[in-house]
Every structure is written in C-alpha cells, then in structure tokens.
Structure 1
Amino acid sequence: MVHIPDANAQPPEYHNVLIIGAGVTGLAMGAQLRMMLGETDVRIIERSKGIGGTWEQNTYPGAGCDIPIVLYSFSFAQKKDWPEFWPPQHVIRDYLEKVSDRFDLTRRTVVNTEVSSAHWDDELGMWHVYTRPAKGQDTQGGEDKHWICRVLISGVGGLSQPNPCNIPGHEKFQGPLFHSARWDHSVQTKDKHVVVVGNGCSATQFIPMLANDGAKSITQAVRSKHWYAKRPNDPTDSAVMKWLLRNVPGFYLLVRAIVHIVLELSSIMMYRHWAGTQARERFARNCISYIKQAAPTKYHDILVPQPEKDGLHPGCKRRVFDTDYLPTLHRDNVELESSPLVEIKEKSVLTKDGRELPADVIVLANGFAVTNMGFPMKIYGKTGKTVQDYWAEAGGPGCYRGSMMSEFPNFALAMGPNTGTGHFSYIFTSECSTRFAIEIFKPIIQAPRPTVFNAKAPGAKKQPSVCVRPEKEEQEQCWIQKQSRSMVYTFDCGSWYVDKESGRVAAVYPQTQTQFWIRASNPIYSDFDYKGIKAPRTWFTGIRETIGWGGIPKQTPEDLKKFRSGEWAVGKPKGKEI
C-alpha cells in the first residue's frame, strides 16, 4: 500500500480537479473543463505571485513572443485587436489574465503556493496533494495544506525550471547573479560590467535593451551556435489589415489558418528526407547570409554554424528570430567571448584561455531543464514510485500521448514529453493536450461527488479511476522513438530535444502538430483501463477505433526489442547520413 503522509489538523480540502500551474496549460485546462463539462469545482495551485506561467515569470527587458500572436492565442478566446504580430511579454500576460477572469479561474487560483508532493490513495481512488508556501515568494504567512481530488493535472511547463549556474566559484561572486527567467528588476545595469552566459532566444532579446540602457560593457559568453534569422515583417502592420481583422467575419480565422499552414510547412526541414534536406539547405543559406550581413566580421567564426563540421543542422535547435541582436554587436560596449568561462571570482570571471574579465552583474541565459518537465515536486503513483523513478526504470521520459502513465491513475501531464515541436504555437498544443485529458477523464469527473475522504471511515467508497494500459504506453513510446529516427535532431548535434541521460527524444513530437491534434482529438478508449465506471464509448468512437483513426501504427516485436534495448538512443543514428 502506498504511504500517505499524516494530514494536518485541518481536514483536507476537496475538489474534483486540482491543476498544478496557472500558466498557458493550466488556464487551457480550467477553461475547457468549464466549456466542455460545465465543471467548476477546480483549484489551480500556482507557485508564482500571479497568472501567466512563463509570461508572468519571464519579465526580462525585451521579452516577447516569437510565434505570430494570431496563432499563439487560444482558439476559444480570440482577440482581434493585437497591437503587434509579435507582441511583448506584458501584452501576452495581460491577455492570459483576462482569459483567466473570463472563465472565472482567477478566484479559483491559489498563488505563492507550490506542490511539495502528491500521493495516489488506491483504497480511496483519489489523490492526496500537499502544498507549502512557495520558496522565494512573499507568502505573507502562508501555511502547509492538505488537498484531496479525484483528478490531478500537472500544467507545469517544460520551460519552468531554469538551469542553475554550473560555473565553479559562482557562490563567491559579490554582485547580483540571476537567470533571465527570474530577472531581478532591482538591479541597475547602467554603467555596470555585465556578463551574460548563453546566447539563445532570451539573450537575443535582452542584450539590445541592456546595451541601449547604458551598460558600461556587456560580455556575452557564447556557449554554442544558433541559426539566427531575420524576423519577417508584420503582415498586419497596416490600417487596412487591422480593420479587416477587427470587422470582417472570418478574416481573423483565415489569417490564423494561413499562419498555421506556414508554420507546419516549415517543419519539413526537421525531416531527414530529400525535401527536408532541400529546405534545410535553403534555410541555412538565408541565415548565413543574414548573419554575415548583420553581424561584425570579427564574430562570423563564432556565430555562423558549419553543419559539415559542428553537426548543427537547421532543426537541431529552435531557430532564433533576430530582434536587433546582431546589429547590436557593432556597439563598442558589447563583446562576444568564445573562450568558455571556467571560474567566477568575487568581481570577475575567468576564461579558459586565461583572461580575467570584469563583472558587476552576471545574467544566466543558459536554458531550462526541459526533459525534467518541471518536476521539482514528487508525484507518487499506485506502486509508490515517483514520476522520476518511473521514467528512470522505463529508460527515459515518456508518456502515452504525452500525458499519461500506466502507474498514475487519474493523473495527466497536460504538456508532457513529446507534445510540441520547436517551431509551433505552445498554446495550440496545450489546447490539444488538455482536451484529450478531459475526454479521458470525463466519466470520472462527472461521477457523483464523494462525501467521505478517509478510506477507513464509515461510508467510504472507492472512487472510479482510469489509467492507460502498460502495453499501449510502451507501444506509443516505441513508435515515438522509431519515428524520431527520421528527424534531424537525432543526428548527433547536441540537441536539447534529446534527454542526455537516456538518449531518448523527450521534448518534441516527431510529426506535425496537425497530426498531434488529430490523435489528441480522437482518443482510443480501448487503450485505457477504466475501473468502477464505463468508458465513454459511443458507436462513433467504436467505428473510429476499428479503422484506427487517431491511433498509431502497431509496433512489431523487432521494433519493441530495439526500443527496450536502447538501440535507438541518440548518439549518431545508423543509416544514411543527412
């Protein structure tokens, strides 16, 4: 039997559904529960001080969206008067707050609170969830609390856990040191020596702002190369287009559909076939031309990828749309440093080639623990294993449809492993994932509300539950890793889409988001084990399952053997080179 920690003196607070995280995914789940089921007995647990997830936390100068906002917004909460095609952080955060208010989720959200652990009670058929005041937040006397629910949803995103500083000596540094995702606005960078560690999407956005704000010097430690592309012009930046978007019925949806198609077509370069190769070569030529035209000549060797030498093909990482970053490198107060930082001292940093560089402020732009899927909390399933233990025994991170695991009943990762891609709208993907989870949990959520929350108490009744069948989960994971073999990021290019420990592709879906939407919209109920309640099958779902609509190809015994043995793990794949 799974150990359930002693509850506090206060009885647990019950809700049908508990959602961890009030970001994009948590809001998608809460809103769609209300729209699809009329369900309002929901609580959202949020460790930050407000609504918005990554858009509430990432407040660094210049923060903004690099996906066109007409698609990076909810289909059920469309806004036709966006000020920009790629709006800044505060505009997106305000939009998410309004969505939360519209669906009455703000008052159902508990902020400055983090989940310490959750435990499945198999006797009762419910989840015990334990929360505490969030670390580093102004909790103003918050307290530990015990909750209980029938359905538990993790809406914690893959970009919620910043990577720590791993440079020796960082604890000795006497100035401010922080991650860009936890920007310290009390720190003034004007007339200061600023050292930036990393050169991905975030750094590309905030370095021009710091340079313009009067930093004495900005030294950027370049950790790797990227495919920098010139950001396209705003196609809606005219009075006529803005009027059409606001006033012509269906025009906004047409623009949204066009953006969807364009982004999906760009995924061709992720594939290791002839068309993908042509698309990559064309994209590479355009990026290299832009980098050489926009950046100082002295930095070309540092910035320009060389796929034939470093293996960094387009698609191995997210492309980076340039927001005045490369032109900023011409400024006298900005310098790129290609020699790795090997030590941080009290007021300086040391490079591998022996130079000491002054540092008053250090900003980390070194990415996130993506394949951990934001799991600082411990979620214990029906056998007592945590999600981390479960994945370790399974050989790496993975879920059925990116959401569910066989040892965790009534639980879903609403944006788990292998859901999104590196080039599409995270909001679109979150809608797909949350609708899928709601369809699976529908009979559980709509069952009569329990009245007894202790399995030993008189009148206690085990609640219905559902979990994916183990063999179906393994089939799906096998298919994902097999399908990923045809993608460019499984070439040995150091892609963060790949879990470093297991060599499995864990961060992205190996097909288009349209294909993911089809599968998420057509659940195969026979892949699940419902206990104490019937699956929500209809004659239509029966036909759908018979013809395989929404399913994956059945994996052969040989495929399963290769998957279990780790033969498909990344390193360099066997077979034809790119």
Structure 2
Amino acid sequence: MAVTSWPQVPVGNRQHTNAAVVIIGAGISGMCVAIDLIRRYNCQNFVIVEKSSGFGGTWRDNTYPGGCCDIWSHLYSYSFEQNPNWSREYPAQEEILDYLRSVAAKWNLYRYARFNTAVEGATWDDEEKRWKVSIKVLGGKDSEYNSSYTMTSDYLVSGMGQLNEPNYPNILGLDSFEGKMIHSARWDWTYNLEGKRIGIIGNGATAAQAIPELAELAESLVVFQRTPNWVVPRMDRAITPLRQKLYNVIPPVRQLYRAALMDFRESLHESISKPGSESAIRTERAHKMLMETQLPNRPDLWEKLTPKYPTGCKRVIISDDIFPALGLANVTLETKAIEAVTPKGIMVKDKKEYEFDLIILATGFRTVDFMYPLQIMGRKGRSLSDIWKSHARALYGVTVEDLPNFGMLYGPNTNLGHNSIILMIEMQSRYITTMINTVLNVRKSGKTFALTPKTKRVKEFNDQIQGILAKTSFADPRCNSWYKTKDGVVTNNWWGTVVEYQKTLSVVDWNDYDSDGTAEGLVPTKNTYIGRVVEETRFSMTTAVAILGAASLAAGALFFRRRLNAKLL
C-alpha cells in the first residue's frame, strides 16, 4: 500500500477518517498536546476526540457544590498561558473552566475538536504501521449521518488521565435506594438541596469541599467516614484588583510570584513521601492545631478525625472550613462501617438505619484502571489488558511496551501529592510531541515508521521507581488509597519532585525505543535534548529586589492616579 505524507492543514471533509494524530480527550492534557503541536511544530493535522460536549475535562465533569482546586491559581495554569486575572488564591471549578475555555478559544482548538464523540478502542496495524481508532458518535443529530466510524492515524495520544471514570462503591443494596442518588462527578444541579436529609459516602478532597456547602442547605447531613484524613489550612483569600493590575502590567512580578509558589510546593514533597520527616511532623502538628482550634471542646471528634497513618499515605486535605462544618448541630460524623444501602437510606454495622432524601457518592474515580474502558490492541495483536495484567506501567509514565506510536499524559506513576499536575503534563506533552514530530517527519518522505519502548527498558524503569516508592508513605500498609492497587503496588504517584521528573524527560534517549518500518537511516541516533520550562526561582536577589521595587513604584502610581481621579470627580 502506498504511503502518503501528512499535510500541515487541519483535517477536512475529504480526510474525515484520516489524520496524522488522534488525541483522546479535551481536558488539560489533550489541549496541551494540541497546542504544542501547533506552536512547536506547526502541525495542524490532528483531531481531538471528546465524549462530552466541550473542553475542560475533569473541570467540566466535576461541578459539585464547593468544587475547587487545592493548588494555587497562579500555579494551576499553563506556563505559556498564565492568567493574571485569577480572582482568588485557590480557583473554583467554574473559574478554572472559564480559563480553559479561553485558552481553547485563543488557540482555535474548536476547529480540531469532535465533541459528543467517544473512542471505544484502537488497533495497531502491523502492516500499515498506523492506528485504526474505533469511534462512536454520541450526539443525536450527528449520529443520524454516521453513528460510528474508524479513524486512521500515524500517532495516538491519550489525554484521558487518571480522574475521568467515576467509581461506584460495591455496597450491598446500592441500587435499591428509592430517593435521589448522585455521584459527585456527575452532579445534578436541577435537584434542590434545601431542607433535605442528606447522606454523603466518602470524606476525601471532594467531600471536604462539598460538606460545608451542603451543611448550610440541608436539614441534616450525615458524613460516612471510613478513615480520617490529614488536614492543613487552606488560607484562601481574594486577589485584589490592584494585584491583578500589577500582574497584567508587570509580568515579571507574576512570574516571580509563580516561582515562589513553585518553590514552596516542591519543599512539601518530603512531608507527603517520607514518614517521620521533620516536614511530615510539621504537617501533623498543623492538622492538630487547626482541628483543636476550630473544634474546641470536642475531643469526641478529635479522636475520630486524627489519622493513624503517616501524612501522604492518602492525599492531604487542604481546607479552612471542613472542621467547623463537621461541628455543626445538623451534621453527624458516622465512622461505623456501612452494612447496606436500603430503600429508605443507609444501615451501618450496629443495624442503625439513617433515612435520607439524597445520597451523595463522593467515592472518587477508577484511578488504577488507566484508559478504562477502552479496548486497545497493540503490536502483534497484544492487548493493553494483557500488557497491564499485573499493574499499569509505562516508560516515564508516557509510552507503553507493544504500543507503537502511542503516548499518554497523566499516566502511571505521574500523579503528585504536593504540586500542580499541569507542570507534569506540560513536560509530558513536550516529550510526546517531540516523538510525534520525528515520526511525522519520516512520513513526509513517504516511508513508514514506528517507535515502541523496549520491554526491557520499561521493566528496568518500573522496577527502579517501584523500589523507591515501596519506601514512601504512599505504600504504607496502614491506609488504603487511590494511589495503589489492592496488592499495594503504587501505580499512580511519581516518586520525586516535579523538577526531578522534568529533568528525566528533558532528553529523548532513542536507545529506549525499538524502531520499525521502511525508514532506514532516518531514525535519530543521538539523544534529542528538548529542555524544560524552569518554573522554580531563577532570579538573583538583585533581580528580585529590582522587580519588587518596580512593582512598588507601579502600585504607588496606580494608587496616586486613583486618588487624583477621585479628587477631580
């Protein structure tokens, strides 16, 4: 079969089922890859396939009351699209979604996206050296034309991440409840919460954000807690218009602030990874001080809310209002195990039954089931389920053995417990798009080309990081978390800091990969240095003082101008 080169132009009507790159998902990861293809390589021959009806990913799906991010606004954004106009130190869900939509519009990503369209699976064609991607059209009107089709691409990228498929708990009688039941990741805003008897299963980050909001509206709220969490102060506050103006007028001030946030967050890594460290002890003290201050004279709750595992074993909760909410008269903290869901409510171990109008499942996602429920068939017909039959693993968290010309973002062992995941995603995107560009450049010559990580190298990398992770808090047997499998293998978290990860991916070592195809002599032989975006502090003290001085002068000028305008009026 003749091989044709890929065009730079976007996929049109005549090429509807043929693209250089297919990107699965229109969240932060998929958007980042699309933008990198455009801005770094002027590649526009790609398609973004998204099962929902818009950009945003996790931040479009999770609209529950109180939904927000536990990373500072100025760190939770692309380095190349920093937002000077965040309204708060910690962004709420709607503001993050607005930010992502504005980025998508700026880069004109809507022209590449196919919404209400789901990837059901993909098969690698060993002869053609291309992916055959099975696509189902979910949108009613569009499905009248074609309800399903197969897309052919040179490269396949998964931007599905780890937090996309809701996890429904395995509780006896879950389907028997006669009232309203809502999963936090599929919130129904048409349901009126006021005056309702509400039960919420789960007490992680989602529940900690939702509980204070629910408690204000509910007649009664029962929180079903399996194990307590370490909680530290959030200290959220509004960002003043003056600060926003400074960040707009003097970008280096914004950059310096972002770098300071980065430095602080990186310094927290030891607190969530090294049991018994000074940093971990400080975190535990902060929890105790916050709890006893906000719940005075409630030793009954102190006991229930103090974990018996090290910080980092489960994700640390960042909140200013979860403890006060749990102390309200209409809120009950239930720590007995749930025995069953009944038609009227929930029965706990001592046979006590709570009756509810609404049960909320704040039970997270299927985090260890990466790329679920896609059916992926790789080289020589080997399935992804077979590749990952013991546990999910990937070289540097981005490429998978026996899956040629494939990359994934926010994959196995790339999650963080201390810093912004966007910093990881950007580095992964740079690495993957470098590989995509190499493959597509070969395609320009009319030849076939495939890159697959060596099985031996994947095993070496996985053994290395698992050896490190086994000694961290993440692997501690005293708690269960979404970081690890039932067998205790930590499949989700990166072992080190963001900077350590960025440096690991700053060079593409082509010796890590097997090459296949007709492109003899076109495969890189030397490592490709792709660098990284330096987010940590890089200013000298002299430069920092100069920037802050300029900022102070600008602030004074703005203040003087406002006073003058006020007098003139």
Under a length normalisation based on structure 1, what TM-score does the superposition of the two structures give?
A: 0.84
Tell me how many residue pairs correspond in the alignment: 512
From 102, 107, 112, the counterpart of 1:103: 107
Match of 2:295 in 1: 295
Could you give the per-residue CA deviations for residues 305-339 of structure 1, whole angstroms, max 9, x where no partner exists? 23xxxxx1111121111142211123222111111
The percentage of aligned residue pairs carrying the same residue is 29
Instruction: Give the 3 Å change call, closer, same or farther, for CA 430–166 of structure 1 in structure 2.
Output: same
From 362, 366, 383, the counterpart of 1:365: 362
Letter in 2 for 1:438: T
Match of 1:548 in 2: none
Instruction: Indicate the SS of the match to 1:446.
Output: helix
Could you give the per-residue CA deviations for residues 472-529 of structure 1, whole angstroms, max 9, x where no partner exists? 1111111111121332222213342543244321101111110101111212111112
140-149 or 381-390, which deviates more = 140-149
Instruction: Give the 3 Å change call, closer, same or farther, for CA 537–423 of structure 1 in structure 2.
Output: same
Match of 2:398 in 1: 403
- Structure 2 contact 235–320 (Cα < 8 Å) conserved: no
64-73 or 295-304, which deviates more = 295-304
Structure-1 separation of matches of 2:426 and 2:411? 13
Asked whether 1:508 is paired with 2:493, we answer yes
Instruction: Give the 3 Å change call, closer, same or farther, for CA 538–11 of structure 1 in structure 2.
Output: closer
Structure-1 separation of matches of 2:512 and 2:395? 10
The CA RMSD over aligned residues, in Å, is 2.3
Structure-2 separation of matches of 1:317 and 1:156? 22
List aligned pairs for 1:332-351, cutoff 5 A.
332-351=329-348
Match of 1:485 in 2: 470
Instruction: Indicate the SS of the match to 1:254.
Output: helix
Letter in 1 for 2:413: N
Structure-2 separation of matches of 1:156 and 1:540? 27
List aligned pairs for 1:156-195, cutoff 5 A.
156-195=160-199
From 224, 231, 242, the counterpart of 2:244: 242
Match of 2:214 in 1: 210
Structure-1 separation of matches of 2:474 and 2:251? 41
Instruction: Give the 3 Å change call, closer, same or farther, for CA 129–76 of structure 1 in structure 2.
Output: same
- Structure 2 contact 272–418 (Cα < 8 Å) conserved: no
Match of 1:414 in 2: 409
| 1:12, distance to aligned residue in structure 2 (A) | 6.9
| 1:153, distance to aligned residue in structure 2 (A) | 0.3
Structure-2 separation of matches of 1:271 and 1:181? 28
Under a length normalisation based on structure 2, what TM-score does the superposition of the two structures give?
A: 0.85
Asked whether 1:434 is paired with 2:429, we answer yes
Match of 1:88 in 2: 92
Match of 2:284 in 1: 284
| 1:211, distance to aligned residue in structure 2 (A) | 1.8
Instruction: Give the 3 Å change call, closer, same or farther, for CA 203–134 of structure 1 in structure 2.
Output: farther
| 1:126, distance to aligned residue in structure 2 (A) | 0.3
Match of 1:325 in 2: 322
Instruction: Give the 3 Å change call, closer, same or farther, for CA 14–238 of structure 1 in structure 2.
Output: same
Instruction: Indicate the SS of the match to 1:431.
Output: helix
Could you give the per-residue CA deviations for residues 155-181 of structure 1, whole angstroms, max 9, x where no partner exists? 001011111131111111112212101
Instruction: Give the 3 Å change call, closer, same or farther, for CA 138–266 of structure 1 in structure 2.
Output: farther
- Structure 1 contact 126–149 (Cα < 8 Å) conserved: yes
From 422, 434, 441, the counterpart of 1:446: 441
Instruction: Give the 3 Å change call, closer, same or farther, for CA 164–227 of structure 1 in structure 2.
Output: same
Instruction: Indicate the SS of the match to 2:21.
Output: strand
List aligned pairs for 1:517-556, cutoff 5 A.
517-531=502-516, 532-533=518-519, 534-537=522-525
- Structure 2 contact 484–491 (Cα < 8 Å) conserved: yes
Match of 1:557 in 2: none
Match of 1:464 in 2: 449
Structure-2 separation of matches of 1:540 and 1:186? 52
Structure-2 separation of matches of 1:315 and 1:49? 35
Could you give the per-residue CA deviations for residues 221-261 of structure 1, whole angstroms, max 9, x where no partner exists? 01211011111354x73454333322224111111111111
| 1:449, distance to aligned residue in structure 2 (A) | 5.6
Structure-2 separation of matches of 1:518 and 1:252? 24
477-486 or 357-366, which deviates more = 477-486
- Structure 1 contact 497–508 (Cα < 8 Å) conserved: no
From 266, 269, 277, the counterpart of 1:267: 269
| 1:425, distance to aligned residue in structure 2 (A) | 0.7
Asked whether 1:391 is paired with 2:377, we answer no
- Structure 2 contact 87–240 (Cα < 8 Å) conserved: no
| 1:184, distance to aligned residue in structure 2 (A) | 1.2
| 1:373, distance to aligned residue in structure 2 (A) | 2.0
Asked whether 1:44 is paired with 2:32, we answer no
Structure-1 separation of matches of 2:133 and 2:203? 38
Structure-2 separation of matches of 1:224 and 1:281? 19
- Structure 1 contact 440–525 (Cα < 8 Å) conserved: no
Letter in 1 for 2:514: D
Instruction: Give the 3 Å change call, closer, same or farther, for CA 327–132 of structure 1 in structure 2.
Output: same
Structure-1 separation of matches of 2:481 and 2:386? 21
Instruction: Indicate the SS of the match to 2:414.
Output: coil
- Structure 2 contact 181–360 (Cα < 8 Å) conserved: yes
List aligned pairs for 1:66-81, cutoff 5 A.
66-81=70-85
- Structure 2 contact 88–236 (Cα < 8 Å) conserved: no
Structure-1 separation of matches of 2:481 and 2:448? 40
Instruction: Give the 3 Å change call, closer, same or farther, for CA 325–270 of structure 1 in structure 2.
Output: closer
List aligned pairs for 1:59-70, cutoff 5 A.
59-70=63-74
Unaligned runs of 5+ in 1: 1-9, 307-311, 451-460, 545-578
Match of 2:4 in 1: none
From 222, 230, 234, the counterpart of 1:231: 234
- Structure 1 contact 420–513 (Cα < 8 Å) conserved: no
Instruction: Give the 3 Å change call, closer, same or farther, for CA 154–286 of structure 1 in structure 2.
Output: same
Structure-2 separation of matches of 1:464 and 1:387? 21
From 217, 224, 249, the counterpart of 1:221: 224
Structure-2 separation of matches of 1:341 and 1:81? 45
- Structure 1 contact 489–495 (Cα < 8 Å) conserved: no
Structure-2 separation of matches of 1:189 and 1:240? 37
- Structure 1 contact 124–462 (Cα < 8 Å) conserved: no
